[in-house]
Chain A
């Protein structure tokens, strides 16, 4: 199974640029195509497509989301066992293991090293066996009271 692109595609190429598996091809202004053998179903193309032209593996049309609103992994250090499965799962290699936490705990722990590179796919969350990764919208984009203007500030910050 794989994501697909439908005729509403305007050929802007946003998906080509973000696809970590380099699964998307197409000429500018032409309808693009996803290679089903290469697609890893990360959903990034659907989140960037401005023309609602990407369908997920279940056939639902994806909704574009402002990148600042994409979920990012947050790590629960007390649950984490430093197994690095999340790091391995990340298709854009934006996670890394930290230095030792301190003299009492020589383990390194995963952290989001390249925040801008994260495509919000949630593979890290899905592959962590102990539930130490949770996908959340980055904190600095939220206001404490969840009032409406928050979205506006966020979108301006992102553009």
Chain B
């Protein structure tokens, strides 16, 4: 799996754990897993960004003189890149 897709997978696992923790806020095993996923995600993002630049564009990324937030592609646009 490409590195970006692995980060997506952790993003998703964190959303799913978040919903589970809403109704099980004191489940220690789940809290532990939640932290593991968050740490793993941080590590992957760090590794990704060292190689390829920002994982997801946000309004704070200004590259040189350009406000890169507005750069294509937007998420609904089909693109072949992975």
Report if A and B associate in a common complex: no
